[in-house]
Structure 1
Amino acid sequence: MKRIGIMMNASKPHALQVAKELMQLLCAKNAFVLLEQGLASVLGRDDCGIPLKEFPNRVEIVFVLGGDGTLLGVGRELAGAKLPILGINTGNLGFLSEAEPDNLGSAVDRVLNNDFCIEERMMIDAECIRKGEIVHRGTAFNDVGIAKGSFGRIVNCSVSMDGMFLGSYSGDGIIVSTPTGSTAYSLSCGGPIVWPGFQAILLTPICPHTLTSRPMVLPAESELEVRVSAAHHEMGMTIDGQIGFEIHEGDLIRIRRSQNQTYLVKWRERSFFEVVRKKLHGDEKG
C-alpha cells in the first residue's frame, strides 16, 4: 500500500471540496495518508498533519491540489527528494496536472494499483553574481526570467554559452527555460514547444527591439552567462514567475542545469501532444 501525502492550495475556490472527496476515497481504500499541516487543520485531521518538508521521509507519492503555479512551487520545494508528484487540477489551465476533480476515483485506483509512469523533468539553477559574490540564487522548474521593471526603456542582455558569445538582446529581457517551461512564458514570447523528455535549455527574447533576435535551443549541459545593463536601475530576475530578485547594472546571471529534477506522475496512454491539443488548441483533433 502506498504512503500518500496531500497538499492543497487553499486559495483555489473548489480545492477544499476536492480535498474532502479525495480523503474519503483514500480512507475507503484503507490507504495510508498524511496531510500538509495547513490542510490537516482545515479538515480537522491534525492527527495526520506534517510539514511539507517532511514529506520526503514519510510518504512515497504526493497529491497536489491546485493549478500549475501550485505544482511549480511544490516541485521546487521537493527538488532533490525524488518524490513523485500527481497534480490534481483545481486551477485554470492545469497544463502540468494529470488528474481532474471529475476523475478522482480513477486517479486513486490507478495510483494504488501502480498504473502510471513517472516522468523526470529537468530543472535549472540560477545565481546572480555582483562584484564577485553570489547575492541571489534559485532553482527553477519552468524558467528564469531576466527583465526590465515598469520603465518603458529597454534592457540589454549580453549572453555567452560556455565562454562563447551568443549575442546581445535588447528589449524587455530574456527567458531561459526548461523543456517543461517551453509551454509557459517562453511560448507566449514566441518560443518553441519542446517535448518535455528532450534535454535542452531554451533562450527566448522578450519583445526584442530587433528583427534578427530569435529563440534558441541549446545543449542541456551548457552554462549560460548573462550580463545585464540598462539606462535605468529597475531590473529583476524571477524564478518560475513566483520568486523575484532585484538585479543591478553589471550583474552577471549564471544559469546551468540543476542536479535536481521534478518527478511527475503521468498516465501511460496520455501523450504530451494530446495535452498540448487540449490545453493550448481547444482540443483540436489530430
Structure 2
Amino acid sequence: MRASSGRPHFTVGLVVHPSRSVLDSIRLITRYAGRSGAAVIARWCDAERVGPDVVTVAPEEFADRVDVLISLGGDGTMLGAMRLVVGRGVPVLGVNHGNLGFLIEVGPQELEPALDRLAEGRYTLEPHSCLEAGDSRAFNDIVIAAEPLSSLTLDLEVNGLRHGYYRGDAMIACTPTGSTAYNYAAGGPVISPSAPAVALTPVAPMSGISRSVILGKDDHIVLRNPSGEVPLIFSVDGTSAGPLQPGAELSVRLRTEAVDVVRFDADTHSQRNRVKLSLLDLPLRRDQLVELIPQPLRDQAERLRRG
C-alpha cells in the first residue's frame, strides 16, 4: 500500500456490507492509506455507508481503478467483491463483519496488522474458481428451481451429449468452495478446493438423476428447461439472476483461478473453517473435535482441570 507523493498510484477499493456499520474499519483503512499516500475509493451505491473521507466513483469505473479490494462484511459481501474483479488480477482481502465467514480470515480487531502485512508483501494468494453462465458468475453455486409449490424438470447435456434429466425441488451446480454450502445441505459431496471440479446435485429428487454428478473444468455443461410453458428461476450465490424461460438453456463452465484471495495464515484459516463445519454437522468424534481447539486454550483448560 505504498504510493509516491502527488497523485496516488495505488488505489484501495472498498466493498461494504449493505446494512451493518463498518465505519471503524473504514476509518482505520483511510488513516493507513493517508500515511502511505494511497487512495481509497468505493462505488456510488455505497456512498452513504463509507462516509465523506472515501471518494466514490461510477460502478463501471471502480473495478478498473483498484489495485486491491477490501471486503467489509460477511461471505455474501466477499462473494460480491470477488465477482467485481474476475480475471483482473486484483487481490481481495476479506474483513469479517458478518457471521460465520468461511471465506474470510481477518476479523476487525486483526485489520491493522493485516494492513501492515499487506503493505510489506507478507501474504499469499489463494486462487478461487467460479462458474460462468452467460453474464453471471458464481463462486459458490448456481441454483435452478421452479416457482414455489411446484417441481422442477431440467435436462442435462455435457459436451454436446444428453445425460438425462432432473425432476425435483431444485438443482445445484457448485464450485469446490460452494460445495460446503447448499450443496452439502442437500447431501452433495464436499470437494477439495484443489480439485478443478463442478458438482451437480439434485434437491429432493423425485425421478431422473437422483445423485450428485462431478464434472471437470473442461466440461461444457448445458442445463435446459424442456417445458413449453413453465419458466424456471435461477440464482447466483444466493442472489436472483432471473428466469430460465420455457425452452431456454443455461450454459455453465468452470473458470479456474478467476480471483485471488489474500491469505496471511492458510493453516489457521483452515482450522477455523473445520470448527465452523463441525458446527454444521460435519461428522467428527469427540477426540477429533478437541483437536480443533487451539493448543494454548487446551493447555489452559488442562491447568484449570488440575487445579
The SS at the match of 2:274 is helix
Report the RMSD for the aligned CA atoms in angstroms: 2.7
Q: What is the CA distance between 1:234 and its match in structure 2? A: 4.7
Matches within 5 A, 1:94-243: 94-127=101-134, 137-150=135-148, 152-210=149-207, 213-229=210-226, 233-243=230-240
Which of the pair is proportionally richer in strand? Answer: 1
Superposition deviation, residue 211 in structure 1? 9.9
**Aligned CA distance change for structure 1 residues 118 and 185 (closer, same or farther; 3 Å):** same
Greater fraction of residues in helix: 2
TM norm structure 1? 0.84
* 3-state SS in 1 of match to 2:136: strand
Task: Classify the secondary structure of the residue corresponding to 1:23.
Answer: helix
Aligned to 1:30: 36
State the shift of 1:279 in Å: 2.4
* Higher RCO structure, 1 or 2 (CA under 8 Å, sep 6+): 1
The percent identity for this pair of structures is 28
Aligned residue number for residue 43 of structure 1? 51
How far, CA to CA, are the matches of 1:166 and 1:36 in structure 2?
Answer: 45
Residues 109/40 of structure 1: CA separation in 2 closer, same or farther (3 Å cut): farther
Q: Equivalent residue for 1:60?
A: 67
Q: Distance in 2 between matches of 1:166 and 1:275?
A: 39
What number of residue pairs does the alignment pair up? Answer: 274
Distance 1:271 1:213, change over 3 A: farther
Which secondary structure does the structure 1 equivalent of 2:184 belong to? helix
Q: Deviations for 1:85-115, whole angstroms, at most 9, x for unmatched residues? A: 0011111121111211121122111111111
Q: Which amino acid aligns with 1:172?
A: D
1:60 counterpart letter in structure 2: D
The amino acid across from 1:50 in the alignment is V
Name structure 2 gaps, 5 residues minimum. Answer: 3-9, 281-288, 293-307
Measured in 1, the distance between the counterparts of 2:85 and 2:208 equals 40
TM normalised by structure 2 equals: 0.79
Q: Which amino acid aligns with 2:262?
A: V
Name 1:74's counterpart in structure 2.
81
Residue 170 (structure 1) shift: 1.0
Q: Look at both structures and tell me which one has the larger radius of gyration over its CA atoms.
A: 2
Answer yes or no: is 1:281 the counterpart of 2:278: yes
For residues 199 and 268 of structure 2, the distance between their equivalents in structure 1, rounded to whole angstroms, comes to 22
What is the SS of the residue equivalent to 1:187? Answer: helix
List, as ranges, runs of 4+ consecutive aligned residues in structure 1 with deviation greater than 6 Å.
none
The yes-or-no answer on 1:84 pairing with 2:82 is no
Could you tell me how far apart the structure 1 residues matched to 2:137 and 2:266 are? 30
